[in-house]
Amino acid sequence: MKINVAMVNYKNTKPFLFGFNQFVENTPFRLSLLNPAKCSQAFENGNADIALVPAAFLEGRSDYKIITDYCIGANGPVNSVAVLSNQPIDQIETVILDNHSLTSNRLVKILFDHHWKREVDFVKRDVSQGIELPPNHAVVMIGDKVFEQQDHFQYKYDLSEQWKQMTGMPFVFAVWIAKKDISEALVAKLNEYLQYGVDNINTIIENESDPIVDLKEYLTVNLKYKLNSEYRLGLNNFLETYSIQETVH
């Protein structure tokens, strides 16, 4: 019986998917590719035993263990998670949240409270097909949508870059988690897949081209995949700040 695994299907997971694709024969895993919110839903409703989930999904939960040496992170601009607008941030009154996102929606609220120090209204919508903004509105977009839509707006505020300015820490957008009864042998096998993919990013870059993003810069400069102690501290800081944020509001 195969173990169900849920993973985000964005450009930022290309290394992970490359690793999975190298071990398709006799694999113990059955992989589903979903958006971030649905990855969380799959883990929560039992359709996935292992999942790459948004960091905000972890807050207040105890039914998981963080696994593998890998994550989706950034230490400065990530390029694919942003507030987009046609006015500067100090003129924004309403922010439209991306309904595919958990972590980035939480992060933007923290930034408005603690970094930009502005009170704004938040509404959530499906922005996957783009959006025309009324005056003094902004929109949160994540993943491939940013590359597809960013040229339609005058301002782009990279959320990971803003977090770095505010805290001096890297940001972790997503981590691998598993049900507590998943064996260490399976975790080690998954880690092997992920390591293979991350170790072969240059092969991905050599074999693929993308009309809307520089894959080399995105996969090797913007994105950071190792969940080391520095990134774990950044993750903990986010979860603690988010918890305080939710309590206050």
CATH number belonging to domain 3-73+171-228: 3.40.190.10
CA separation for the pair 228, 45 (Å, rounded): 29
Q: Which tens digits make up the pLDDT trace of 33-89?
A: 998 889 999 999 999 999 999 999 998 889 999 999 999 999 999 999 999 999 999
The CATH number, out of the four listed (3.30.70.270, 3.50.30.50, 3.40.50.1370, 3.40.190.10), of the domain defined by the range 81-167: 3.40.190.10
Domains 3-73+171-228 and 81-167 equal at CATH topology level: yes
Q: Which tens digits make up the pLDDT trace of 128-173?
A: 887 889 999 999 998 888 999 999 999 999 999 999 999 999 999 9
pTM comes to 0.92
Where do the domains of the chain lie?
Answer: 3-73+171-228, 81-167
Q: Which tens digits make up the pLDDT trace of 169-220?
A: 999 999 999 999 999 999 999 999 999 999 999 999 999 888 889 999 999 9
Model pLDDT, residue 195: 98
- pLDDT score of 242 more than 90: no
If one compares 125 and 50, the residue with the highest pLDDT of the two is 50
Model pLDDT, residue 247: 41
Confidence category of residue 249, pLDDT binned at 50, 70, 90: very low
Model pLDDT, residue 35: 87
Model pLDDT, residue 243: 67
- pLDDT score of 248 more than 60: no
